[in-house]
Amino acid sequence: MMILFYHVHGFMRQMTDPADRFLQPASPRQRRYEALRARFVDGCSSAEAASRFGYAPGSFRNLCSQFLRSHDPDFLFPSGRPAPAPASPATDSAASARERILALRQHDLSVHDISARLRLENLPHSVGFVHKVLRAAGLPKLARRAPEQQPAVLQAPLADRRALDLAPRRFRTAFGGLFLFAPDLARLDLDRLAAGLPGSELIPAGCALRALLALKLWGIGRPSRIMPAVLDEGIALFAGLNASPKRSTLTEYSCRCDPRLLDPFTQRWHDALCALHSPLGAGRSFDLDFHAIPYHGDDALIEKHYVSKRSRRQKAILCFLARDAEARTFAWASARPSKATHNDQILRFVDAWKDRTGRQPAELVFDSRLTTYANLARLEARGIAFLTLRRRSASMVEQLLGLPRDQWRTVQLTNVGRRYRTPRILDQTVRIKDYPQPIRQIAIRDLGHDKPTLLLTNQLDASPRELIDRYARRMLIENTIADAVNFFHMDALSAAVPLRIDLDVQLTLMASALYRLLANRLGDRFRTAEPASLFRKFVEASATIDINDERIEVTLGRRPHNPHLIEAGYPDSTTSIPWLHNRALKINFA
Protein backbone atom coordinates (compact mmCIF):
# COMPACT_ATOMS: atom_id res chain seq x y z
CA MET A 1 0.00 0.00 0.00
CA MET A 2 2.84 2.39 0.80
CA ILE A 3 4.47 1.75 -2.60
CA LEU A 4 1.17 2.34 -4.36
CA PHE A 5 0.73 5.60 -2.47
CA TYR A 6 4.06 6.94 -3.68
CA HIS A 7 3.27 6.02 -7.28
CA VAL A 8 -0.09 7.70 -7.08
CA HIS A 9 1.43 10.74 -5.35
CA GLY A 10 4.07 11.08 -8.09
CA PHE A 11 1.43 10.77 -10.81
CA MET A 12 -0.75 13.40 -9.16
CA ARG A 13 2.28 15.73 -8.82
CA GLN A 14 2.91 15.43 -12.55
CA MET A 15 -0.71 16.18 -13.26
CA THR A 16 -0.88 19.12 -10.83
CA ASP A 17 2.50 20.70 -11.85
CA PRO A 18 2.58 20.72 -15.68
CA ALA A 19 5.44 23.28 -15.76
CA ASP A 20 7.84 20.48 -14.86
CA ARG A 21 7.11 18.86 -18.21
CA PHE A 22 8.82 21.90 -19.82
CA LEU A 23 11.45 22.67 -17.21
CA GLN A 24 12.50 19.03 -16.66
CA PRO A 25 11.88 17.30 -20.02
CA ALA A 26 12.23 13.53 -20.02
CA SER A 27 12.55 13.06 -23.79
CA PRO A 28 16.04 13.72 -25.29
CA ARG A 29 14.50 15.50 -28.27
CA GLN A 30 12.40 17.79 -26.03
CA ARG A 31 15.41 18.42 -23.78
CA ARG A 32 17.40 19.53 -26.84
CA TYR A 33 14.55 21.79 -27.96
CA GLU A 34 14.09 23.42 -24.54
CA ALA A 35 17.83 23.98 -24.10
CA LEU A 36 18.20 25.64 -27.54
CA ARG A 37 15.08 27.74 -26.91
CA ALA A 38 16.49 28.94 -23.59
CA ARG A 39 19.77 29.87 -25.31
CA PHE A 40 18.45 31.64 -28.42
CA VAL A 41 14.94 32.84 -27.40
CA ASP A 42 15.12 33.47 -23.65
CA GLY A 43 18.65 34.89 -23.88
CA CYS A 44 20.32 32.55 -21.39
CA SER A 45 24.05 32.18 -21.56
CA SER A 46 25.49 28.97 -22.96
CA ALA A 47 26.77 27.86 -19.55
CA GLU A 48 23.42 28.62 -17.87
CA ALA A 49 21.36 26.74 -20.46
CA ALA A 50 23.74 23.78 -20.32
CA SER A 51 23.55 23.60 -16.53
CA ARG A 52 19.73 23.94 -16.46
CA PHE A 53 19.13 21.04 -18.84
CA GLY A 54 21.97 18.75 -17.84
CA TYR A 55 24.46 19.25 -20.70
CA ALA A 56 28.20 19.40 -20.38
CA PRO A 57 29.39 22.90 -21.43
CA GLY A 58 31.41 21.60 -24.36
CA SER A 59 28.64 19.29 -25.58
CA PHE A 60 26.12 22.11 -25.50
CA ARG A 61 28.44 24.42 -27.46
CA ASN A 62 28.73 21.70 -30.13
CA LEU A 63 24.94 21.35 -30.16
CA CYS A 64 24.52 25.09 -30.67
CA SER A 65 27.08 25.04 -33.47
CA GLN A 66 25.24 22.18 -35.22
CA PHE A 67 21.97 24.06 -34.90
CA LEU A 68 23.41 27.25 -36.40
CA ARG A 69 25.01 25.39 -39.32
CA SER A 70 21.98 23.22 -40.07
CA HIS A 71 19.40 24.40 -42.62
CA ASP A 72 17.17 21.36 -42.07
CA PRO A 73 13.65 22.46 -40.96
CA ASP A 74 13.28 19.12 -39.14
CA PHE A 75 16.40 19.60 -37.02
CA LEU A 76 14.41 20.27 -33.81
CA PHE A 77 11.54 17.91 -34.60
CA PRO A 78 12.66 15.07 -36.89
CA SER A 79 9.73 13.83 -38.98
CA GLY A 80 9.23 10.18 -38.09
CA ARG A 81 11.70 7.33 -38.05
CA PRO A 82 14.38 7.53 -40.75
CA ALA A 83 14.05 5.18 -43.67
CA PRO A 84 16.32 2.14 -43.63
CA ALA A 85 19.68 2.86 -45.23
CA PRO A 86 20.23 1.29 -48.66
CA ALA A 87 22.84 -1.38 -49.09
CA SER A 88 26.29 0.12 -48.82
CA PRO A 89 28.17 0.34 -52.13
CA ALA A 90 31.26 -0.70 -50.21
CA THR A 91 29.44 -3.88 -49.10
CA ASP A 92 28.40 -4.67 -52.67
CA SER A 93 31.94 -3.96 -53.87
CA ALA A 94 33.40 -6.26 -51.24
CA ALA A 95 31.02 -9.07 -52.21
CA SER A 96 31.87 -8.67 -55.88
CA ALA A 97 35.57 -8.53 -55.03
CA ARG A 98 35.34 -11.78 -53.02
CA GLU A 99 33.84 -13.61 -55.95
CA ARG A 100 36.46 -12.18 -58.31
CA ILE A 101 39.30 -13.04 -55.91
CA LEU A 102 38.27 -16.67 -55.74
CA ALA A 103 37.94 -16.78 -59.54
CA LEU A 104 41.42 -15.29 -60.05
CA ARG A 105 43.01 -17.71 -57.59
CA GLN A 106 41.89 -20.52 -59.91
CA HIS A 107 44.53 -19.17 -62.33
CA ASP A 108 47.23 -19.57 -59.63
CA LEU A 109 47.63 -15.84 -59.11
CA SER A 110 49.37 -14.60 -55.96
CA VAL A 111 47.77 -12.11 -53.57
CA HIS A 112 49.89 -9.30 -55.13
CA ASP A 113 48.81 -10.26 -58.65
CA ILE A 114 45.15 -10.49 -57.62
CA SER A 115 45.30 -7.08 -55.94
CA ALA A 116 46.87 -5.60 -59.11
CA ARG A 117 44.16 -7.17 -61.30
CA LEU A 118 41.40 -5.82 -59.02
CA ARG A 119 42.79 -2.28 -59.40
CA LEU A 120 42.64 -2.62 -63.16
CA GLU A 121 39.03 -3.84 -62.92
CA ASN A 122 38.00 -0.87 -60.71
CA LEU A 123 37.65 -3.12 -57.66
CA PRO A 124 40.63 -1.79 -55.68
CA HIS A 125 41.41 -3.85 -52.59
CA SER A 126 44.59 -4.25 -50.63
CA VAL A 127 46.83 -7.28 -50.49
CA GLY A 128 45.71 -7.79 -46.88
CA PHE A 129 42.05 -7.94 -47.91
CA VAL A 130 42.84 -10.50 -50.62
CA HIS A 131 44.77 -12.60 -48.12
CA LYS A 132 41.84 -12.57 -45.64
CA VAL A 133 39.38 -13.67 -48.33
CA LEU A 134 41.61 -16.55 -49.43
CA ARG A 135 42.27 -17.61 -45.83
CA ALA A 136 38.54 -17.55 -45.04
CA ALA A 137 37.94 -19.79 -48.06
CA GLY A 138 40.53 -22.25 -46.78
CA LEU A 139 42.92 -21.76 -49.71
CA PRO A 140 46.65 -22.18 -48.94
CA LYS A 141 49.48 -19.82 -49.91
CA LEU A 142 51.26 -20.28 -53.22
CA ALA A 143 54.93 -21.17 -53.47
CA ARG A 144 57.31 -18.30 -54.31
CA ARG A 145 57.86 -17.94 -58.09
CA ALA A 146 60.34 -16.10 -60.30
CA PRO A 147 58.99 -13.26 -62.52
CA GLU A 148 59.31 -15.38 -65.66
CA GLN A 149 57.05 -17.99 -64.05
CA GLN A 150 54.09 -15.62 -63.83
CA PRO A 151 50.88 -17.14 -65.22
CA ALA A 152 49.83 -16.16 -68.71
CA VAL A 153 46.64 -14.45 -67.53
CA LEU A 154 48.76 -11.53 -66.23
CA GLN A 155 51.08 -11.25 -69.23
CA ALA A 156 50.90 -7.71 -70.62
CA PRO A 157 50.23 -7.15 -74.33
CA LEU A 158 53.12 -6.38 -76.64
CA ALA A 159 53.97 -2.67 -76.62
CA ASP A 160 53.27 -1.28 -80.09
CA ARG A 161 52.94 2.38 -81.01
CA ARG A 162 50.84 1.43 -84.03
CA ALA A 163 48.27 -0.26 -81.77
CA LEU A 164 47.65 2.87 -79.68
CA ASP A 165 43.87 3.07 -79.26
CA LEU A 166 42.34 6.51 -78.73
CA ALA A 167 38.75 5.38 -79.24
CA PRO A 168 36.25 7.12 -76.92
CA ARG A 169 36.25 5.41 -73.53
CA ARG A 170 36.74 5.95 -69.81
CA PHE A 171 39.12 4.16 -67.46
CA ARG A 172 40.86 4.56 -64.13
CA THR A 173 44.62 4.84 -63.63
CA ALA A 174 46.80 4.86 -60.56
CA PHE A 175 49.30 7.13 -62.37
CA GLY A 176 47.11 10.18 -62.98
CA GLY A 177 49.69 12.62 -61.60
CA LEU A 178 52.10 11.80 -64.44
CA PHE A 179 49.98 13.90 -66.77
CA LEU A 180 50.99 17.03 -64.83
CA PHE A 181 54.33 16.72 -66.68
CA ALA A 182 52.76 16.21 -70.12
CA PRO A 183 52.34 19.94 -70.96
CA ASP A 184 56.05 20.63 -70.37
CA LEU A 185 57.09 17.52 -72.31
CA ALA A 186 54.89 18.68 -75.18
CA ARG A 187 56.51 22.13 -75.13
CA LEU A 188 59.96 20.54 -75.08
CA ASP A 189 58.95 18.28 -78.03
CA LEU A 190 60.69 15.19 -76.71
CA ASP A 191 60.11 13.20 -79.92
CA ARG A 192 62.09 15.78 -81.89
CA LEU A 193 64.85 15.84 -79.27
CA ALA A 194 65.11 12.03 -79.38
CA ALA A 195 65.94 12.03 -83.09
CA GLY A 196 69.15 10.05 -83.51
CA LEU A 197 68.53 7.76 -80.54
CA PRO A 198 67.70 4.12 -81.29
CA GLY A 199 64.07 3.23 -81.84
CA SER A 200 61.80 0.91 -83.79
CA GLU A 201 58.40 0.93 -85.47
CA LEU A 202 56.91 -0.71 -82.40
CA ILE A 203 58.57 1.56 -79.81
CA PRO A 204 60.01 4.82 -81.24
CA ALA A 205 62.75 6.57 -79.30
CA GLY A 206 60.40 9.19 -77.84
CA CYS A 207 58.01 6.53 -76.52
CA ALA A 208 60.86 4.56 -74.97
CA LEU A 209 62.19 7.68 -73.20
CA ARG A 210 58.73 8.59 -71.89
CA ALA A 211 58.22 5.04 -70.60
CA LEU A 212 61.52 5.24 -68.73
CA LEU A 213 60.82 8.78 -67.54
CA ALA A 214 57.49 7.64 -66.12
CA LEU A 215 59.30 5.21 -63.83
CA LYS A 216 61.76 7.92 -62.79
CA LEU A 217 59.06 10.53 -62.21
CA TRP A 218 57.02 8.08 -60.13
CA GLY A 219 60.06 6.98 -58.10
CA ILE A 220 59.45 3.28 -58.70
CA GLY A 221 62.28 1.51 -56.91
CA ARG A 222 63.88 -1.86 -57.40
CA PRO A 223 62.03 -3.46 -54.46
CA SER A 224 58.67 -2.42 -55.97
CA ARG A 225 56.67 -4.78 -58.12
CA ILE A 226 56.67 -3.55 -61.71
CA MET A 227 53.79 -5.72 -62.98
CA PRO A 228 50.98 -3.35 -61.83
CA ALA A 229 52.73 -0.52 -63.70
CA VAL A 230 52.99 -2.64 -66.84
CA LEU A 231 49.28 -3.43 -66.72
CA ASP A 232 48.11 0.12 -65.96
CA GLU A 233 46.61 1.72 -69.07
CA GLY A 234 47.35 5.26 -67.86
CA ILE A 235 51.14 4.90 -67.72
CA ALA A 236 51.06 3.41 -71.24
CA LEU A 237 48.99 6.35 -72.50
CA PHE A 238 51.50 8.78 -70.97
CA ALA A 239 54.25 7.09 -73.00
CA GLY A 240 52.14 7.10 -76.19
CA LEU A 241 51.85 3.31 -76.40
CA ASN A 242 49.11 0.73 -76.21
CA ALA A 243 50.93 -0.96 -73.29
CA SER A 244 54.01 -0.28 -71.22
CA PRO A 245 57.20 -1.97 -72.44
CA LYS A 246 58.37 -4.84 -70.29
CA ARG A 247 61.47 -4.69 -68.14
CA SER A 248 63.56 -6.73 -70.54
CA THR A 249 62.58 -4.43 -73.42
CA LEU A 250 63.59 -1.27 -71.54
CA THR A 251 66.86 -2.80 -70.37
CA GLU A 252 67.68 -3.88 -73.91
CA TYR A 253 66.87 -0.37 -75.14
CA SER A 254 69.33 1.19 -72.67
CA CYS A 255 72.06 -1.11 -73.98
CA ARG A 256 71.43 0.20 -77.50
CA CYS A 257 71.89 3.82 -76.39
CA ASP A 258 75.56 4.39 -77.10
CA PRO A 259 77.00 7.12 -74.81
CA ARG A 260 78.21 8.94 -77.92
CA LEU A 261 74.54 9.35 -78.96
CA LEU A 262 73.56 10.79 -75.58
CA ASP A 263 75.87 13.83 -75.77
CA PRO A 264 74.00 15.40 -78.74
CA PHE A 265 70.70 14.51 -77.11
CA THR A 266 71.80 16.24 -73.88
CA GLN A 267 72.70 19.35 -75.88
CA ARG A 268 69.28 19.40 -77.57
CA TRP A 269 67.56 18.90 -74.21
CA HIS A 270 69.44 21.87 -72.72
CA ASP A 271 68.65 24.09 -75.72
CA ALA A 272 64.97 23.20 -75.42
CA LEU A 273 64.97 24.16 -71.73
CA CYS A 274 66.52 27.51 -72.59
CA ALA A 275 63.91 28.03 -75.33
CA LEU A 276 61.18 27.77 -72.66
CA HIS A 277 62.58 30.98 -71.13
CA SER A 278 63.26 28.85 -68.08
CA PRO A 279 66.04 29.63 -65.59
CA LEU A 280 66.96 25.94 -65.68
CA GLY A 281 69.36 26.44 -68.56
CA ALA A 282 70.90 29.76 -67.52
CA GLY A 283 73.34 28.42 -64.96
CA ARG A 284 75.86 30.88 -63.53
CA SER A 285 76.92 29.38 -60.18
CA PHE A 286 77.34 25.63 -59.71
CA ASP A 287 77.81 23.23 -56.83
CA LEU A 288 80.02 20.29 -57.79
CA ASP A 289 80.41 16.86 -56.23
CA PHE A 290 81.13 13.19 -56.87
CA HIS A 291 78.83 10.30 -56.08
CA ALA A 292 79.94 6.65 -56.09
CA ILE A 293 77.20 4.33 -57.40
CA PRO A 294 77.76 0.81 -56.03
CA TYR A 295 78.36 -1.90 -58.62
CA HIS A 296 77.46 -5.48 -57.75
CA GLY A 297 78.64 -7.28 -60.89
CA ASP A 298 81.83 -9.17 -61.72
CA ASP A 299 83.36 -6.74 -64.21
CA ALA A 300 87.11 -6.71 -63.47
CA LEU A 301 87.50 -3.26 -65.05
CA ILE A 302 85.28 -1.53 -62.50
CA GLU A 303 87.43 0.34 -59.97
CA LYS A 304 86.89 0.61 -56.25
CA HIS A 305 85.79 3.95 -54.81
CA TYR A 306 84.75 5.15 -51.38
CA VAL A 307 80.98 4.77 -50.96
CA SER A 308 79.91 7.23 -48.26
CA LYS A 309 76.53 5.61 -47.76
CA ARG A 310 78.24 2.40 -46.66
CA SER A 311 81.43 3.97 -45.22
CA ARG A 312 83.70 1.64 -47.15
CA ARG A 313 85.54 1.20 -50.43
CA GLN A 314 83.94 -1.14 -52.95
CA LYS A 315 83.42 -1.53 -56.66
CA ALA A 316 81.51 1.51 -57.84
CA ILE A 317 80.94 3.79 -60.80
CA LEU A 318 82.00 7.35 -60.06
CA CYS A 319 79.48 9.97 -61.18
CA PHE A 320 80.37 13.68 -61.43
CA LEU A 321 77.40 15.97 -60.77
CA ALA A 322 76.97 19.71 -61.33
CA ARG A 323 74.00 21.37 -59.66
CA ASP A 324 72.74 24.78 -60.73
CA ALA A 325 72.71 26.69 -57.44
CA GLU A 326 70.01 29.15 -58.56
CA ALA A 327 67.69 26.77 -60.42
CA ARG A 328 68.23 24.03 -57.77
CA THR A 329 68.46 21.22 -60.30
CA PHE A 330 71.14 19.01 -61.85
CA ALA A 331 72.58 20.74 -64.90
CA TRP A 332 75.31 18.33 -66.00
CA ALA A 333 76.54 14.86 -65.11
CA SER A 334 79.17 12.41 -66.26
CA ALA A 335 79.42 8.74 -65.35
CA ARG A 336 82.81 8.24 -66.99
CA PRO A 337 85.44 9.51 -64.53
CA SER A 338 88.15 7.09 -63.48
CA LYS A 339 90.67 7.38 -60.66
CA ALA A 340 93.23 8.65 -63.15
CA THR A 341 90.99 11.39 -64.56
CA HIS A 342 88.58 12.36 -61.78
CA ASN A 343 90.69 15.37 -60.70
CA ASP A 344 90.27 16.87 -64.17
CA GLN A 345 86.47 16.49 -64.32
CA ILE A 346 86.05 20.07 -63.17
CA LEU A 347 87.94 21.31 -66.26
CA ARG A 348 85.95 18.96 -68.47
CA PHE A 349 82.75 20.42 -67.06
CA VAL A 350 83.95 23.97 -67.73
CA ASP A 351 84.75 23.08 -71.35
CA ALA A 352 81.46 21.22 -71.82
CA TRP A 353 79.42 24.10 -70.37
CA LYS A 354 81.19 26.60 -72.60
CA ASP A 355 80.51 24.42 -75.66
CA ARG A 356 76.87 24.11 -74.63
CA THR A 357 76.11 27.73 -73.73
CA GLY A 358 78.93 29.76 -75.26
CA ARG A 359 80.12 31.02 -71.86
CA GLN A 360 82.06 29.68 -68.92
CA PRO A 361 80.53 29.17 -65.47
CA ALA A 362 80.93 32.28 -63.37
CA GLU A 363 81.40 30.49 -60.04
CA LEU A 364 82.21 26.95 -58.92
CA VAL A 365 81.81 25.69 -55.35
CA PHE A 366 83.18 22.28 -54.30
CA ASP A 367 84.92 20.44 -51.49
CA SER A 368 88.63 19.80 -51.00
CA ARG A 369 88.77 16.35 -52.62
CA LEU A 370 87.19 17.24 -55.93
CA THR A 371 90.32 18.52 -57.67
CA THR A 372 93.94 19.61 -57.16
CA TYR A 373 95.59 22.94 -56.37
CA ALA A 374 97.10 22.91 -59.87
CA ASN A 375 93.60 22.86 -61.34
CA LEU A 376 92.65 25.75 -59.07
CA ALA A 377 95.41 27.70 -60.81
CA ARG A 378 93.93 26.76 -64.19
CA LEU A 379 90.51 28.01 -63.07
CA GLU A 380 92.10 31.27 -61.96
CA ALA A 381 93.82 31.61 -65.35
CA ARG A 382 90.45 31.20 -67.06
CA GLY A 383 88.86 33.89 -64.89
CA ILE A 384 86.47 31.55 -63.07
CA ALA A 385 85.66 32.31 -59.44
CA PHE A 386 85.86 29.34 -57.10
CA LEU A 387 85.22 28.55 -53.47
CA THR A 388 86.51 25.38 -51.87
CA LEU A 389 87.82 23.90 -48.65
CA ARG A 390 91.47 23.37 -47.74
CA ARG A 391 92.66 20.16 -46.20
CA ARG A 392 93.92 20.72 -42.65
CA SER A 393 97.19 19.30 -41.39
CA ALA A 394 97.88 18.84 -37.70
CA SER A 395 100.52 21.59 -37.67
CA MET A 396 98.19 23.98 -39.46
CA VAL A 397 95.41 23.41 -36.92
CA GLU A 398 97.83 23.80 -34.01
CA GLN A 399 99.12 27.09 -35.39
CA LEU A 400 95.59 28.50 -35.86
CA LEU A 401 94.43 27.45 -32.40
CA GLY A 402 97.50 29.09 -30.89
CA LEU A 403 96.72 32.54 -32.28
CA PRO A 404 95.53 35.13 -29.74
CA ARG A 405 91.81 35.77 -29.58
CA ASP A 406 92.09 39.42 -30.61
CA GLN A 407 93.28 38.39 -34.09
CA TRP A 408 89.91 36.75 -34.78
CA ARG A 409 86.79 38.79 -35.48
CA THR A 410 83.14 37.84 -35.23
CA VAL A 411 80.74 37.88 -38.21
CA GLN A 412 76.95 37.51 -38.37
CA LEU A 413 75.65 34.76 -40.69
CA THR A 414 72.13 34.34 -42.07
CA ASN A 415 72.14 30.94 -43.78
CA VAL A 416 73.22 28.47 -41.08
CA GLY A 417 71.74 27.00 -37.94
CA ARG A 418 70.77 29.32 -35.13
CA ARG A 419 73.55 28.06 -32.86
CA TYR A 420 76.33 28.92 -35.33
CA ARG A 421 75.40 32.35 -36.63
CA THR A 422 78.25 34.23 -34.97
CA PRO A 423 81.50 32.43 -35.82
CA ARG A 424 84.95 33.95 -35.45
CA ILE A 425 87.04 34.30 -38.61
CA LEU A 426 90.62 35.02 -39.62
CA ASP A 427 90.82 36.48 -43.14
CA GLN A 428 94.33 36.28 -44.64
CA THR A 429 96.30 35.43 -47.79
CA VAL A 430 98.48 32.33 -47.92
CA ARG A 431 100.57 30.40 -50.37
CA ILE A 432 99.71 26.83 -51.38
CA LYS A 433 101.52 24.25 -53.47
CA ASP A 434 101.13 24.44 -57.29
CA TYR A 435 99.32 27.78 -57.07
CA PRO A 436 101.53 30.56 -58.48
CA GLN A 437 100.32 33.47 -56.36
CA PRO A 438 98.94 34.14 -52.87
CA ILE A 439 95.36 32.98 -52.38
CA ARG A 440 92.72 34.13 -49.94
CA GLN A 441 92.08 31.87 -46.96
CA ILE A 442 89.30 32.33 -44.40
CA ALA A 443 89.71 30.33 -41.19
CA ILE A 444 86.42 29.86 -39.33
CA ARG A 445 85.90 28.84 -35.71
CA ASP A 446 82.71 28.28 -33.66
CA LEU A 447 80.91 26.77 -36.67
CA GLY A 448 80.06 23.48 -34.99
CA HIS A 449 83.45 21.79 -35.48
CA ASP A 450 86.31 21.21 -33.09
CA LYS A 451 88.87 22.24 -35.69
CA PRO A 452 88.79 25.45 -37.72
CA THR A 453 87.23 25.28 -41.20
CA LEU A 454 89.44 26.66 -43.97
CA LEU A 455 87.92 28.26 -47.07
CA LEU A 456 90.06 28.97 -50.14
CA THR A 457 88.85 31.39 -52.80
CA ASN A 458 90.08 33.71 -55.50
CA GLN A 459 87.20 36.14 -54.81
CA LEU A 460 89.10 38.96 -53.17
CA ASP A 461 86.33 41.54 -53.01
CA ALA A 462 83.52 39.42 -51.54
CA SER A 463 82.84 39.78 -47.83
CA PRO A 464 83.63 36.82 -45.55
CA ARG A 465 79.99 36.59 -44.51
CA GLU A 466 78.86 36.22 -48.15
CA LEU A 467 81.47 33.55 -48.86
CA ILE A 468 80.61 31.53 -45.74
CA ASP A 469 76.89 31.76 -46.52
CA ARG A 470 77.54 30.66 -50.10
CA TYR A 471 79.52 27.61 -49.07
CA ALA A 472 76.84 26.70 -46.54
CA ARG A 473 74.33 26.66 -49.41
CA ARG A 474 76.70 24.37 -51.29
CA MET A 475 76.04 21.73 -48.65
CA LEU A 476 72.55 21.42 -50.13
CA ILE A 477 73.99 19.49 -53.06
CA GLU A 478 74.53 16.58 -50.69
CA ASN A 479 70.82 16.70 -49.83
CA THR A 480 70.00 16.89 -53.55
CA ILE A 481 72.21 13.91 -54.31
CA ALA A 482 70.60 12.00 -51.45
CA ASP A 483 67.20 12.84 -52.95
CA ALA A 484 68.34 11.54 -56.34
CA VAL A 485 69.70 8.39 -54.76
CA ASN A 486 66.54 7.71 -52.75
CA PHE A 487 63.76 9.02 -54.99
CA PHE A 488 65.20 8.67 -58.51
CA HIS A 489 67.00 5.45 -57.47
CA MET A 490 70.39 6.28 -58.92
CA ASP A 491 71.96 3.55 -56.79
CA ALA A 492 69.58 0.93 -58.21
CA LEU A 493 70.89 1.18 -61.79
CA SER A 494 68.01 1.96 -62.32
CA ALA A 495 64.69 1.73 -60.52
CA ALA A 496 62.84 -1.53 -61.23
CA VAL A 497 64.53 -1.71 -64.64
CA PRO A 498 68.30 -2.37 -64.87
CA LEU A 499 69.77 0.34 -67.13
CA ARG A 500 73.17 1.35 -68.35
CA ILE A 501 74.54 4.07 -66.14
CA ASP A 502 74.89 6.74 -68.87
CA LEU A 503 71.21 6.61 -69.79
CA ASP A 504 70.18 6.31 -66.16
CA VAL A 505 72.06 9.49 -65.20
CA GLN A 506 70.62 11.35 -68.20
CA LEU A 507 67.09 10.30 -67.22
CA THR A 508 67.76 11.49 -63.67
CA LEU A 509 68.75 14.93 -65.01
CA MET A 510 65.60 15.06 -67.13
CA ALA A 511 63.32 14.01 -64.28
CA SER A 512 64.97 16.55 -61.98
CA ALA A 513 64.36 19.32 -64.53
CA LEU A 514 60.71 18.33 -65.02
CA TYR A 515 60.09 18.41 -61.27
CA ARG A 516 61.73 21.84 -61.11
CA LEU A 517 59.46 23.09 -63.92
CA LEU A 518 56.48 21.80 -61.92
CA ALA A 519 57.75 23.61 -58.82
CA ASN A 520 58.15 26.85 -60.77
CA ARG A 521 54.57 26.54 -62.01
CA LEU A 522 53.34 26.20 -58.42
CA GLY A 523 54.90 29.49 -57.37
CA ASP A 524 57.17 30.75 -54.61
CA ARG A 525 55.81 28.48 -51.87
CA PHE A 526 57.03 25.31 -53.61
CA ARG A 527 59.87 26.70 -55.71
CA THR A 528 62.51 25.13 -53.46
CA ALA A 529 60.64 21.87 -52.73
CA GLU A 530 62.49 18.66 -53.51
CA PRO A 531 61.05 16.07 -55.95
CA ALA A 532 60.10 13.60 -53.21
CA SER A 533 57.98 16.27 -51.49
CA LEU A 534 56.35 17.38 -54.76
CA PHE A 535 55.58 13.76 -55.58
CA ARG A 536 53.81 13.12 -52.27
CA LYS A 537 51.78 16.31 -52.40
CA PHE A 538 50.85 16.58 -56.08
CA VAL A 539 51.96 13.75 -58.36
CA GLU A 540 51.01 10.64 -56.40
CA ALA A 541 47.34 10.75 -57.43
CA SER A 542 44.99 8.41 -59.24
CA ALA A 543 42.69 9.76 -61.95
CA THR A 544 39.81 9.02 -64.27
CA ILE A 545 40.70 9.43 -67.94
CA ASP A 546 38.02 10.24 -70.52
CA ILE A 547 38.99 9.97 -74.19
CA ASN A 548 36.74 11.44 -76.87
CA ASP A 549 37.22 12.44 -80.49
CA GLU A 550 38.66 15.88 -79.62
CA ARG A 551 40.40 15.73 -76.27
CA ILE A 552 41.73 13.63 -73.42
CA GLU A 553 40.44 14.70 -70.02
CA VAL A 554 42.33 13.63 -66.92
CA THR A 555 40.33 14.14 -63.71
CA LEU A 556 42.56 13.89 -60.66
CA GLY A 557 41.08 12.65 -57.41
CA ARG A 558 40.60 14.85 -54.38
CA ARG A 559 43.85 15.77 -52.68
CA PRO A 560 44.61 18.37 -49.98
CA HIS A 561 47.04 20.27 -52.23
CA ASN A 562 44.88 20.35 -55.37
CA PRO A 563 43.99 24.04 -54.81
CA HIS A 564 47.63 24.91 -55.52
CA LEU A 565 47.43 23.09 -58.86
CA ILE A 566 44.20 24.91 -59.65
CA GLU A 567 45.79 28.23 -58.74
CA ALA A 568 48.73 27.35 -61.02
CA GLY A 569 46.28 27.30 -63.95
CA TYR A 570 46.17 23.61 -64.83
CA PRO A 571 42.38 23.42 -65.30
CA ASP A 572 42.29 26.70 -67.28
CA SER A 573 44.32 25.53 -70.27
CA THR A 574 44.57 22.71 -72.76
CA THR A 575 47.72 21.42 -74.43
CA SER A 576 48.02 19.63 -77.74
CA ILE A 577 49.98 16.41 -77.15
CA PRO A 578 51.98 15.46 -80.28
CA TRP A 579 52.53 11.80 -79.33
CA LEU A 580 48.78 11.32 -78.74
CA HIS A 581 47.78 12.29 -82.29
CA ASN A 582 47.67 15.96 -81.25
CA ARG A 583 44.66 15.42 -79.00
CA ALA A 584 44.10 18.27 -76.54
CA LEU A 585 44.93 17.36 -72.94
CA LYS A 586 42.66 18.86 -70.29
CA ILE A 587 43.37 18.36 -66.59
CA ASN A 588 40.39 18.57 -64.25
CA PHE A 589 39.97 18.11 -60.52
CA ALA A 590 37.24 16.16 -58.73
d(CA 526, CA 560): 15
- Short-list 574, 589, 566, CA closest to 182: 574
Maximal C-alpha separation, the chain: 121
**Is the confidence at residue 268, as pLDDT, over 50?**
yes
Read off the DSSP letter of residue 552.
E
For residues 228 and 174, what is the distance between their CA atoms, to the nearest angstrom?
9
Residue 139 region by backbone torsions, left for phi larger than 0, else alpha for psi between -120 and 50, else beta: beta
* Domain residue extents for the chain: 20-73, 92-154, 161-257+487-589, 279-476
In sign, the C-alpha dihedral spanning 175, 180, 184, 189 is: positive
Which stretch of 53-62, 150-159, 233-242, 353-362 has the lowest confidence by average pLDDT? 150-159
Q: What is the CATH number of domain 279-476?
A: 3.90.350.10
Q: Could you tell me if 507 and 494 are in contact, meaning their C-beta atoms sit under 8 angstroms apart?
A: yes
- The whole-model pTM stands at 0.71
Between CA 474 and CA 310 the distance in angstroms is: 23
Q: What is the DSSP string of 351-417?
A: HHHHHHHSS--SEEE--TTSS-HHHHHHHHHTT-EEEEE-PPPHHHHHHHHTS-GGG-EE---SSS-
Q: What is the pLDDT of residues 319-377, one digit of tens each?
A: 888 888 888 788 888 887 777 888 999 999 999 999 888 889 999 999 888 899 999 99
What are the C-alpha distances in Å from 566 to residues 530, 571, 583?
Answer: 20, 6, 22
- Which pLDDT does position 100 carry in this prediction? 83
Average model confidence (pLDDT) across the chain: 82
Please tell me the predicted confidence (pLDDT) of residue 3.
40
Cα(454)–Cα(473) distance, rounded to whole angstroms? Answer: 16
Q: What is the pLDDT of residue 6?
A: 38
Over the stretch 498-523, which tens digit does the pLDDT of each residue have?
A: 778 888 889 988 998 999 999 999 98
The verdict on whether omega for the bond into residue 494 sits within 30 degrees of 0, i.e. cis, is yes
Q: How far is CA 253 from CA 162, 246, 260, 274, in A?
A: 18, 11, 15, 28
H-helix or E-strand containing 519? helix 501-522
Output 448-454 pairs: Cβ under 8 A, ≥24 positions apart.
Answer: 448/417, 448/419, 448/420, 451/392, 451/397, 452/392, 452/397, 452/400, 452/401, 452/426, 453/389, 454/389, 454/390, 454/392, 454/396
CA quadruple 273, 276, 277, 283: dihedral, nearest 10: -10
Cα–Cα distance, 125 to 422 (Å, whole number): 56
Instruction: Give the distance from CA 64 to its chain's centroid.
Output: 43
Query: In Å, how far from its chain's centre is CA 153?
Result: 33
What is the torsional sign of CA 215, 217, 220, 226? negative
